A and B are shown apart, each in its own frame.
Chain A
Amino acid sequence: MKRVLNKKVLFGLYDDEEILKDAVKQINKEEAEIMDVYSPFPVHGLDPLLGLTESRLHIAGFMYGITGTTLAFGFMTWVFTCDWSIIFGGKPYFSVPAFIPITFEFTVLMAAVGMVVTFYLVCGLGFGVENPCLDNRITDDKFCIAFDVTHSSQEEVEALSVLLERTSAGEVHTKDI
């Protein structure tokens, strides 16, 4: 499934993440609106510059985990106290210590699977998804700052190109995605 965004994008390619961060700082100063930044690896210190708030994935993870805890413990309790009570080795039906290992494992399982699924959903990623690629080298050694110029005039695009070049972008291109 090839995703088409119907956007015109102006982007600059940088050679190093430190130059990229400086460029973002400078672009922020000039109040140009960055569409997105792409990099071959996570660049630390970039998120606050782009105004990205902290990911809430871990909160989701906690929710999934606590759901797993409740489900596992509740289910075992129900099975052994209500549905089909069996005495194992003379121990009580509701034998909490024996429920702990499975409760723990199921908590971890739910939290992990839930978080991973959520991650791919919120990022719009998945098997068969084909997102537009600005440049093949972005997953190799180039760092990219992209502007959405779909509704920009020719002058605005030129001004942004100059800005990119001024911030030491090695290459500046436009692309329809």
Chain B
Amino acid sequence: MVAKNIGEPVLRKEDARFITGKGNYTDDINLRGQAHAFFVRAPVARAMITSLDCSAAEAADGVVAVLTGAQVAEDGLGSLPCGWMVLSKDGSEMKQPPHPPLAADRINYSGEPFAVVIADTLQQARDAAELVEVEFDELDAVVSVADAQSGPQIHPEVPDNTNYDWELGERDETLKAIENAHHVTRLSLVNNRLIPNAIEPRAAIGDYNSGTDEITLYTTSQNPHLARLVLTAFVQLAPEHKLRIIAPDVGGGFGSKIFIYSEETVVAWAARKLDLPIKWTADRSESFLTDAHGRDHVSEAELAMDENGNFLALRVKTLANMGAYLSTFASAVPTYLYGTLLAGQYKTPNVYVEVQAVMTNTAPVDAYRGAGRPEATYLLERIVEIAAQEMNMDPAELRRKNFIQPEDFPYQTPVALEYDIGDYEASLDKALAMADYAGFSARREASVAEGKLRGIGFSCYIEACGLAPSQVAGSLGAGVGLWESGEVRVNPTGSVTVMTGSHSHGQGHETTFAQLVASQLGISIDDVEVIHGDTGKMDFGMGTYGSRSLSVGGSALMKAADKIVAKGKKIAGHLMDAKSEDIDFDDGEFKVRESNLSKTFQEIAFAAYVPHDYPLEELEPGLTEKAFYDPANFTYPAGTHICEVEIDPDTGVTSVVKFTAVDDFGTIINPMIVEGQVHGGIAQGIGQAMLEHGIYDETGQLQTGSFMDYCMPRADDLPNFDVGMTTTVCTHNPVGAKGCGEAGAIGSPPAVINAITNALGVREIDMPATPLNVWQTLQNATHEDARGE
């Protein structure tokens, strides 16, 4: 492998183990003498536990212990906290109910665990769980977002079931602009609840060493250090230095494995309590019930325009469902990851958004791929599409007219963010060409001739990624800093071990980061090993979410590699009797400028560890460098997605016949991996738009609790995607990267729905546009037409 490999589609290093079945996922780990945990879960959504008798379960074959919420409380285990403080309009702090790892007296959602059976085998634990005798006094559940504030109060700490009433932007200016506008487009819409469904279910193994008093927790986490911080500083599970968290190979996360859940907390606690390794792996049914769900907003919006279609103001009111407890990041999702994105790619001068977060007796809702930004994009790109209809303008041209222009950067939006760079028209133009927009009307005619409906829809999205400048995040309520750490360890033979605080659960960091570091150091990527996911190995790390790994984690590694080069120059200068300022480092060689003297990277590494001829009085031996990188700003990936659908009006079946995505992710290290990330994001976005919907019935029972009812995108549901890139390089991180993990899921849903409404000739349809929904919408439209005539 050549050294210069930035921008090359290098095949992935990690694949070698995954394609041969040698991956090491949490459930693949078995510790000697381990016991198994089975959680006893509430079959009802809201109830008081009036009696709980575990004696029969405790006496059952193989049972080691049955632990309950009361014991959790007795041991002083704290509540699972939400890490982001959001203030209401009146300055008051958000209302946060306690979230005990095991419910002690009250049940707040169906599937909530209130006891755990630990037994020699999983079968025994599960059998014994049926012997736990519990009685519930069932209460009316609060289920729908719309009714949450008027429903019975779920938590004493949360009046009106409302955590906060938050606002952003200039209210008065916005209202005035709307009042005086030439035209106002109004829209009510729902952002459907999603269930993440990484194919690897969550799992955890707690292990305790009484000799060292150290707990080791193997778990399916996107951010093991963050988990350790929360479990020690807040939950008080153990002192921070006595808890090691290992997140080995993790089979997809999409946000759902960021959070600190009951099960891993309990497994780690019980391992110490019982001095026994304890393993738990979720069934898919448990994943459905208890993994934090995503989205679930109800919104109203108004977009004001002048007579030429220039956007004047946007007003948004949103109710966001938080579920039964405030999950780890939940409060930030519908506020700082949502309201701040409502300017989109447009120079709308006034934007005002109000968000009320409400609690319901459903599983907690938190970040899911895109987290807030898909909701913002969906709202904005839907209302812009409808505005174009109402203004009788081409939807692409209305967008173009309102784009922030390249010369406007840095651009301060009315909703807090300062975009550093972008070229939105370039993406739009490229997407229009790739999608053959000009040929659409002919394709539509051809479809109509065959009795089909055809539609095209746009979405010009922007996202704020690369979470996050710590001081900005802190001023907005974040409980942690959001930098990243990286360490480059050059071994004496010149091979390199890279430690990163980012975590790969499908993103291919072992390859991308190896490319980055190898390129910086002029060595082969085969000589770079990237290690992540173990608090015992790397200093600290904030983990992977919010498309942050390359722009923040990669930047830390670049800085560390730069330090290696700087130290290497000093060593090389000593060895070649030159000043370090006169040493150039290029392609793996340290060269004395204007001479033919040079030393290879490997020679310098060896010299650093075998310092026989070495400036020891000025320089420490060894060649290991660390860096912490705190970004100066968010990054702003943006692009245009265009979806073309064909609909069979007889059945409502919609086929995505063409999907074009043109994205600007800044500098790209590995285009193959980036394209793969885009594919996956679009698949989840099409899933949201057409297939997926988490539904509870009025009693709080999850009706879509398995793959039999929750419709996951399959291979035959999806088309091939046409992916293109435009590039403006991020101005403030050394890599120049913006992040690519979430763009597909953010950009695609409105493109799909805009295409479907375009095909159907209707103003609105809710997601998911299932065959039933599309058919019903057509029926209603036909009836309305009939009445209209």
Do A and B actually bind? no
Q: Footprint of A on B, CB under 8 Å? A: none
